[in-house]
Amino acid sequence: MTQTDDLIKQMSKDRPGFKEKFEHYSQQFDYAVAIFNLRKTVGLTQQQLADKVGVPQSTIARVETGDGNITMKNMERIAAAVDKQLVIEFK
């Protein structure tokens, strides 16, 4: 176990609700990285992707930094804009 894992475990014990918040923001970060990587893979700027999706560039920027709470609708719109299929799975 890493020091980070130990810290998260301890904070989860000490602070009610910490674990749930951590998991939420961890998922948001995963989405942010996935969208950033997708955009780079297809060779688009934030503005170009925003234009294809029909949202302001600032929306893409917020999503990519994890500051925006992306909706399923926007995830689907991003996938469609770059001719990709959005796949969701439960683990």
pLDDT for 84 equals: 96
Specify whether the CB–CB gap between 59 and 78 falls below 8 A.
no
What is the CATH T-level fold of the domain 17-81, as seen in this structure? Answer: 434 Repressor (Amino-terminal Domain) (1.10.260)
C-alpha closest to that of 73 among 90, 4, 63, 7: 63
pLDDT for 24 equals: 77
pLDDT digits (tens, 9 = 90+) for 51-60: 999 999 999 9
The percent of residues in the chain predicted with pLDDT above 90, rounded, is 54
pLDDT for 81 equals: 96
pLDDT for 21 equals: 83
pLDDT digits (tens, 9 = 90+) for 16-47: 888 888 887 888 888 999 999 999 999 999 99
